Amino acid sequence: MLKLKLNKITVKKLLKGINNESHIRIMEVCGTHTMAIAKAGIKQLLPANIELISGPGCPVCVTAQEDIERILILAKKREVIITTFGDMLRVPGSTGSLQEMQAQGADVRIVYSPLDAVNLARNNPEKEIVFLAVGFETTTPTVAFALEDAHKTGVDNFSIVCMHKLVIPALKALLSDQETEIHGFLLPGHVSTIIGTIPYEFIPREYQRACVVSGFEPGDILESILFISRQLENADYKVENQYKRGVKTEGNKIALEIMDKYFTPFNSLWRGMGEIKDSGLRLRPEYVQYDAIFKFGLQDTLVQLAPSGCICGNILKGILKPEECALFSKMCTPAFPVGPCMVSSEGACAASYYYAGGEVIGR
Amino acid sequence: MQPVIIMRGVKLLADERILLSHGAGGLKTQRLIREVFQKNLGNAYLQQELDSALIKFSSHKIAFTTDSYVVSPIFFPGGDIGKLSVCGTVNDLAVMGAKPLYLTLGLIIEEGLPVEELDKLMFSLGNTAREAGVQIVAGDTKVVEHGACDKIFINTSGIGIVPPNLDLRPQKMVPGDKIIVSGPVGNHGIAILAARESLDFSPPLASDCTYLNYLIDGVLNTGASIKCMRDPTRGGLATTLNELAQQANLGIKLHEEALPVQPQVKGACSMLGLDPLYLANEGKVIIVVANKDARQVLEEIRKYDIGKNASIIGEVTDAHCSKVVMETELGTLRVLRMLEGDPLPRIC
């Protein structure tokens, strides 16, 4: 792990270690990395042959449109209080966003933990509290703990819309997609605290790509890019752990166990990527009473098409960049988003929009 | 035994609640005015109990402003809606270079508010006004049904006198001018959020809510060439600087390492996915000053307790007109846009 504090001088020293001159395309899988890279202006520091592309690691961005439509139907019900992390509020559906429905009287509340939603259920026994469960392996365990809390204390007016996704199946899908050209992966630090580093080992073994599990400080990211560059230079492909202070090889056993207790994988729909085998989580049959979609009989909601002109799908696969979208920063802005990549604080379009640093001022 | 609020006629008790009839204009209204408002805010103007306050001015230039306060919760670490409604309006006057003198006070109260809470708020409001050297010269109270407002909404309007020949406008900015901020940013926004969501931070985060008129008066008395001043409230430092850059049609360049942000605010922000540069402040001023006078102004600000962490954070440039760009600690450049949307409603 990087010991020195980063400043203008130490950054230059660090970058001197990158000797690889071939064109390198590195995908940052995680949305938090996308934001950190944009915010720190890391692309401005890198030599021209290193290209960073954003991946499918923004949970709100990859949520399928049909899930959004179901949520909007739920929000219209008088007996329902929707609880959610802030990012879902502005994602547009065919009949508006949760925020617009809130203005029309829907009861939508932002929570900072799913446990708050269980407490809300406890305090409002006459209401059904629906939590929008979005996120990768980082957030899923906390939802499982909330379910455990509700289950053990007999809270039966709490349910979730389960939209959890898994990182590994998405990486497999990306790697088998011929269109996506990626030489190395900046692997998600937070997800890896849960799943560990072993599940990534198929990437160097079967696909000969460089892999580094990275922390989120600018110094972590730069050092991880240096590691990827070295792996490629030496054709020594492996899973390196740059984020040792957070990630253990075997992950977090307790979190994995409670996830497994409540959830089971199924073939899930990803925005732009379609259905990916075993890439989503749903509640196990014995806990289906906590599934809001089942509870309200919304399994057969019609699939709505993604908004026309929006290329979020190809952005999530790393094929196109936000600036290549005709809607970007014209029709589609964070205040009036067309696609979810512009809504989420982890979305590639929002990152490009907010922190376009070098590009905008012509550096 | 019930604590008694004031000794006069039929007494208001501390556990009494505001009723619609307290706003009806009759005896109950009169009692409320005398026993809560006059007690806490009283002065010669209010005691006249006339329909308007009569104020004499000679040929001064007058600054006149208004602001409404709807913050939730009404009591928060570092302040309350009463203190805030004085500081906010006093600061709006002060950044125009005016000496704040008189405030009006409009209250919209939800029925059911305990009189004790109202009394506490008016005590705090009265104290803040006295400390800031302003008088509440007129007021109005309306009570609305339960649910029609949230506990209490306050409007204050304020009048101040502007010294002759003082002319503060963004259009006076020129390339090379320095940007000074009077202290760490983001505290108010994060303190409100923490209070509202019961997020406990240790050490606790308090709002920076305070009046800036004495500090600003000190700055103006240095004789330095001040171009303009703003208090970066809603939208935070980044949004306020964008407004200045647009109005001046010049660029502003900031230096990340010079930006004062308290470590606990930084920590809370990274946990919650917020940016302190976009969070509200209620006791900070941005001063644009000629390069040659910047040091002197900084030293003056640092004499005040509320200004001891002031910093020169950047300068005016003609390089990227009407944009605010920050040089990060790594030496990269980041464009700071105006705030889009509203991450935290009802913070002031």
Are residue A298 and residue A318 in the same domain, yes or no?
no
ipTM, two decimals, is 0.76
Quick check: A90 and B341 CB within 8 A?
A: yes
In which domain, by residue range, is A326 found? 312-355
Q: Is the pLDDT reported for residue A166 higher than 60?
A: yes
| Average pLDDT value for residue range B78-87 | 98
A340 and A232 part of one domain? no
* Contact at CB, B273 and A345, closer than 8 angstroms: yes
Contact call for A7 and B320, based on CB within 8 A: no
Per-residue pLDDT reduced to its tens digit, B191-220: 999 898 778 787 788 999 999 999 999 999
Lowest mean pLDDT: which of A91-100, A142-151, B282-291? Answer: A91-100
Q: Do the domain assignments include residue A1? A: no
List, for residues B278-315, the tens digit of each pLDDT value: 999 999 999 999 999 999 999 999 999 999 999 999 99
Residue B175 has pLDDT above 50, yes or no: yes
Contact residues on chain B for A335, CB-CB shorter than 8 A = 340-341
**Is A363 a domain residue?**
no
Residue B320 touches partner A, C-beta closer than 8 Å: yes
Q: What is the pLDDT of residue B14?
A: 58
- Considering the domain boundaries, does residue A361 fall inside one? no
Indicate whether A323 and A254 sit together in one domain.
no
Mutate to test the interface with B, among A84, A344, A360 (most CBs of B within 10 A): A360
- Which of B199, B330, B341 is nearest residue A335 as measured by Cβ atoms? B341
Q: Is the pLDDT of residue B174 over 70?
A: yes
**A46: in domain:** yes
Q: Is the pLDDT of residue B9 over 60?
A: no
One domain, residues A282 and A163: yes
Is the CB of B221 inside 8 Å of chain A's CB atoms?
Answer: no
Q: What is the 3-state secondary structure (H, E, C) of chain B?
A: CCCECCCCCCCCECCCECCHHHHCCCHHHHHHHHHHHHHHHCCHHHHCCCCCCCCCCCCCEEEEEEEEECCCCCEECCEEHHHHHHHHHHHHHHCCCCEEEEEEEEEEEECCCEHHHHHHHHHHHHHHHHHHCCEEEEEEEEEECCCCCCCEEEEEEEEEEECCCCCCCHHHCCCCCEEEECCCCCHHHHHHHHHHCCCCCCCCCCCCCCCCHHHHHHHHHCCCCEEEEECCCCCHHHHHHHHHHHHHCCEEEEEHHHCCCCHHHHHHHHHHCCCHHHCCCCCCCEEEECHHHHHHHHHHHHCCHHHCCCEEEEEEECCCCCCEEEECCCCCEEEECCCCCCCCCCCC
A248 plus A340 within the same structural domain: no
Same domain flag for A183 and A325: no
Residue A360 within any structural domain of the chain: no
Buried b (16+ CB within 10 A) or exposed e, A262-273: bbeeeebbbbbb
Nearest to A303 by CA among A63, A135, A70, A131: A70
Q: B328 contacts in A (CB within 8 Å)?
A: 40-41
Mean pLDDT score across all residues of chain B: 91
Shared-domain flag, residues A149 and A174: yes
Q: Are residues A327 and A271 in the same domain?
A: no
Counting one residue from chain A and one from chain B, the pairs whose CB atoms sit within 8 A come to 62
A334 confidence band (pLDDT: 50, 70, 90): confident
* In a domain? residue A183: yes
**Structural domain contains residue A31:** yes
Average pLDDT value for chain A:
90
Per-residue model confidence as pLDDT tens digits over B224-251: 999 999 999 989 999 999 999 999 999 9
| Domain shared by A317 and A300, yes or no | no
Which sign, positive or negative, has the C-alpha torsion A265, A137, A77, A303?
negative
Provide the pLDDT confidence category of residue A358 given band limits of 50, 70 and 90: very low
A307: pLDDT strictly greater than 80: no
Please report the pLDDT score of residue A302 as a whole number. Answer: 65
Q: Could you give phi then psi for residue A319, rounded to 5 degrees?
A: -85, -40
pLDDT at A78: 94
Q: Are residues A253 and A148 in the same domain?
A: yes
A130 with A253, same domain: the answer is: yes
pLDDT at B147: 92
pLDDT reported for residue A362: 44
pLDDT band at A303; cut points 50, 70, 90: low
Q: What is the pLDDT of residue B49?
A: 81
Residue B4: the pLDDT is 40
pLDDT at B60: 81
Q: Report which listed range, A265-274, A287-296, A298-307, B58-67, is most confident.
A: A287-296
Percentage, residues of chain A above pLDDT 70: 94
User: Is the pLDDT reported for residue B105 higher than 90?
Assistant: yes
Q: Is residue A334 in a domain?
A: yes
Over the stretch A19-56, which tens digit does the pLDDT of each residue have? Answer: 778 899 999 999 999 989 998 999 999 999 999 999 88
Confidence (pLDDT) at B15: 59
Both tokens of residue B229? 């001043």
Give the pLDDT confidence score for residue A18 in this predicted structure: 81
* Contact residues on chain A for B333, CB-CB shorter than 8 A: 41, 44, 357-358, 361, 363
Give the pLDDT score at A267: 94
Residue B45 has pLDDT above 80, yes or no: yes
Give A34-87 as a DSSP string: HHHHHHHTHHHHS-TTEEEEEEEE-HHHHS-HHHHHHHHHHHH-TTEEEEE-GG
More confident residue, B159 or B13: B159
> Residue A302 has which token pair?
């019609």
pLDDT of residue B199: 80
Strand order in the sheet with B324-327: B226-230, B286-289, B178-181, B311-317, B251-255, B324-327, B333-336
CB contact under 8 A, B328 and A112: no
Same domain, A176 and A324: no
**Confidence tier at A3 by pLDDT (50, 70, 90):** low
The pLDDT of residue B300 is 98
Would you say residue A305 has pLDDT above 90? no
Greater confidence (B252 vs A39) lies with B252
Q: How confident is the model at residue B185 (pLDDT cuts 50, 70, 90)?
A: very high
Residue B42 or residue B76, greater confidence:
B76
Number of domains in chain A: 2
The structural domains of chain B, ordered by start, are 20-162 (3.30.1330.10), 170-336 (3.90.650.10)
pLDDT in tens, A202-247: 999 999 999 999 999 999 999 999 999 999 999 999 999 999 999 9
For position A297, which CATH number holds?
Answer: 3.40.50.11740
In B184-213, the residues whose Cβ lies within 8 Å of chain A are: 197, 199
pLDDT number for residue B3: 41
